[in-house]
A and B are shown apart, each in its own frame.
Chain A
Amino acid sequence: MEYTNLSKYAEELWLCARCGDCSLADKTVASKRDVFLPCAVKNVLGFEAYSARGRIMVMNDLLNDKIDLTDDVLQWLYTCTTCKGCQETCAATAEGIKLPEMTEALRNDLVNAGYELPKHKAIEESIINLGNPYKEERDKRLDLFGERDWPEMADVIYFVGCTSAYREKEIAKTTVELLDKAGVNYTILPEEECCGSVLLRLGHKRAFDALTKKNIEAIKKTGAKQIVSACAGCFRTWKIDVPKEGHSHDFEILHITEFLDQLVQEGKVAFRSPKPIKVTYHDPCHLGRHAEVYEAPRRVIEAVENVELVEMETNKRYAHCCGSGGGVKGSHGELADKIGANRIKEAEETGADLLVTACPFCHRGLVDGAKYGNSKLEVLDLPEFLLPFMVEATGKREVGENPLKTEFMAYLSNHPKIFDGLKKDAVIDYDIEGDRFHLVIAKKGQVVVYPIRAENADVELTFSKGAVRKLVTFESEEEYAKQFGLFFKEPTDDEWIKFNLRLNLVKLLMKGYRKFAQKAGLI
């Protein structure tokens, strides 16, 4: 057996030193790293073979002909949700060992060699013949919206996706209603095809190119500049996979949570709950770890008046998977239900009245998980949650109400030399005792400061107000850097700085933080 695709990862497979973090890591008090038993699949099935560490050992054994390729391997391979929780936990390489990519590479190898699950073959045929994986009729795709003529031209495409179109219809309906009420100039492709996500996840890549080309051509005809999806799977495919598979386009890809976040920030939409509600949020893996959108959905939820957002024990980059991704729902339904039930338990432990997510797959998986675990916790997708609370917008929201935050943001914008040495796209998040903003290195000598928390910062810096008051008085960057270092090394009760490294040390060094630390006198 030739493992053509998996072999490309042979060095990385060899490098994995089996530290076991991807399988058994716990939140680390010292570094505020909130990971907790990251593999949702292993947490149900128990054996190491289901964790990333075990999977890498099995893959190495396959590459080295130490175990035989049997149906057991095929069954095992499709128990991975490719949620990327393991990779996010892994510090062994700058990017983390790429288990989701390896899994998809091995799936692709097996499919190419004729090893495939019958139901996956049926899914592929359905997508090729009907444009969706559910064996539903192509011309019924938009029936859920009733009789409606969609404009031929628009600024925005709402890409519905197969699951919202045929299974989780409320998500599509409520999304459309939200866009209508917000007065968005948008349309829907009358001949929308599956985005191809499921093909990539299952290793059936053959039909992906044709689908994507067809969708891109159809979108181009509308003149749209933005594609908005309420499906995390479609969003990830458009944003990450389509370019990676060699298809170029100029569209801006946004998830509905990002799009609504922008509308909220611009004061074009507003939401209010008539009574107080406590809500917790489940990060879809495709939206969070795969596309690094963590804050936008939270900002939208928190923008609803009378709503309190509480976090689960695992959240954001370390959130447990719902169990439905990577083909697991279709391949091993009971496993998906059990994982979903575990996630529901985490949500219940927060005391929330409601669990909100932002992906039709997660929504289905969590609803089924609640049923499996006999939980009465209500699960809603974000558009469903928001629509009843939509109220008349009152104009642009003021940002940077805290004058100290505004002053600090302006100071940093005017002193880009502070960040000399940092590479393009380095992201630093600032926290002045709860008030957040972030800074991105746009290019050498130029920084852009945003008044909101970063989606996925390299470093989070927490400042006391006293420290900020002092720092913004320095005219020279050298004096700033020196004082910055002193606040870290010799903090007082009123003037201090704390670090929270969100990337491992090696990756930080690659991004140029060594010079930054040297200027601050830290090293």
Chain B
Amino acid sequence: MTIVKASKKHPLYEELAAIVGEDRVNDNQVIISSYTQDACHLTAERPGIVVLPNTVEEVQAIVKLCNRTKTPLIPAGGRNGICGAYLPRVKGSVMLDMASMDKIVTIDEDVMTVTVEAGLRWAELIHRLDEKGYKLGFRGPYGGNAGTVGGSTSINSIGYAASKYGPSTEGVVSLEVVLANGNIVQTGTGWKKGARPFARYSAFHDLTGVFLGDHGTLAVKTKVTLKIYPKAEFITYGDFGFKTLEDACAAFLEVQKRGLTEELNLLCDRQSTDTFFPGFLDRHSEINAMFAAIAQETDEQLASRKMEIVREIALEHGGKDLGNFAAQMHWGEMFNLVQPLYNNGFWLNTCHLRPITLIPELMKRDLEIFKKHKLLKNGIKWIASCLGADRAFATGWVTIFAPDKSKMELALKAWNEMLDATIDSGGCPYWSGLLWENRVLKTVSKPFLDTYKVIKNALDPNSIFSPHVFEGVD
């Protein structure tokens, strides 16, 4: 049913309504207004019309329509990313709100995969798998309550359990995508007619990888097949503090190299710990940096032994055992951890990847910026945290919080300097979007970008998918 009626001014309204019905397409300003931002402060153009597809056939028909009319088409997931990736760069675009394509298609227990529609949210996927006795590898971004599998894998999201399993894209076995010409392609073992999507690398090159992290520019993802694992009931936790960030990073790197933890999260200075867990270090005045470690296994002894080894490594690097409260809260509050941080104000992020050894250099640069702008005196708190990722690198999550609108200008000034410092000190963003794109384009090698453009032109000659992404932001 429809309450706010479409204005029917968009040139494709009638044809889109013929595909999905009037209830699921709308170009009214009230409806459009709610698709104009994600979870960061950045803005771009407003979509011209929003469509809620329910099936791959509907997506296919919409893509064909847009291709025929050369109309920009923007796929959108949970829209709670923090880099403005889903926001259109041009006026009049058709936005696909994929959130209602949220079914679990199959749980294939023989080959340990789950195939889901791209609009499924991570939290629901985890809870449905949990009921069946399985878990994912990568569990979802920290905003996985609303973040979708399709959205995350389109922008290289990273988050829970990346310390062991790598970013969202690492767990992908196969994709179903709709190309600009309307073809539906299944990657991985899906190249073979009738084959189950059980392996990613098969017979041809890795076509899956072409579409991962594409920021919606190459196709619309409609299904994603992910690896699953037996549910691991045994969890051990540990918090370890260090006098210096350098010591903490050395221990952190060693734990990551040895693949001991499901999740390993570093807080780079006392202020960061205090913003996250106020009072946590009150009794440990000598501690400047700490990490929280979580090991999860199907075997109790294995889980315990892994945490013992983490402890041994920490102590060898001069660490102090702080108990396990922070680690327990961190894991127990999965997907609800970052929202309370908004109590500190609106956040400005600098999410990226970096070698663990380069974390101290970033902190040195950022602390100078914080000091220069007197952030704490102005009520602007920060959290500098790093999540172990894959093997021996980490995320760099340095976030500042503007407590109210009046402090936003100062916060933005500092934030822009932090973005420069991040790039200059060896950081590589995992997503681009409005957040990083200009800085990425300044440093990208020409052959790399040209190769991407060749692929883009070949797959989407009319540039209907998310046009002008990777071309720079005004």
Contacts and interface: CB of A to CB of B under 8 A. Distances in A.
The answer to whether A binds B is: yes
Interface of A: 11, 14-21, 23-31, 33, 44-51, 53-55, 57-58, 61, 66-68, 70, 72-73, 75-76, 79, 90-94, 332, 334-335, 338, 485, 488-489, 499, 501, 504-507, 509, 514, 517-518, 521-523
Given A21-B145, A57-B36, A335-B1, A46 B346 contact: no
B429 to A, nearest CB: 20
Contacts of B50: 47
Contact of A518 (B1, B29, B282, B324): B282
B340 to A, nearest CB: 4
Given A28-B145, A47-B31, A506-B343, A17 B36 contact: no
Nearest to A14: B405
B343 A93 contact: yes
Top 9 closest pairs, chain A to chain B, by CB = A54-B34, A20-B146, A91-B339, A26-B123, A30-B334, A92-B342, A26-B124, A48-B34, A25-B145
Nearest to B26: A47
B426 interface: no
Interface string B249-280: 00000000000000000000000000001111
Nearest to B280: A523
B279 A31 contact: no
A91 B334 CA distance: 13
Given A14-B346, A47-B50, A514-B279, A26 B127 contact: yes
B458 interface: no
Contacts of A75: 3-4
A522 B24 contact: no
Contacts of B33: 49, 54, 57-58, 61, 66-67
B471 to A, nearest CB: 25
Given A19-B339, A31-B332, A24 B52 contact: no
Given A20-B145, A79-B3, A72 B277 contact: no
Contact of A93 (B80, B279, B342): B342
B15 to A, nearest CB: 19
B34 A90 contact: no
Contacts of A14: 346, 404-405
B78 A20 contact: yes
Contacts of A509: 278-279
Contact of B1 (A338, A517, A521): A338
B333 A30 contact: yes
A19 B123 contact: no
Given A48-B35, A76-B3, A20 B26 contact: no
A20 B323 contact: no
B346 A15 contact: yes
Nearest to A56: B34
Given A485-B323, A506-B340, 10 more contacts: A16-B342, A19-B39, A19-B339, A20-B143, A28-B335, A30-B331, A45-B2, A50-B3, A73-B30, A335-B3
Nearest to B135: A29
Contact of B126 (A15, A16, A29, A489): A29
Given A46-B24, A58-B33, A504-B339, A29 B3 contact: no
Contacts of B2: 45
B293 to A, nearest CB: 14
Interface string B141-164: 001011100000000000000000
B462 interface: no
B97 interface: yes
Contacts of B92: none
A517 B333 CA distance: 17
Given A18-B80, A75-B3, A46 B30 contact: no
A90 B29 contact: no
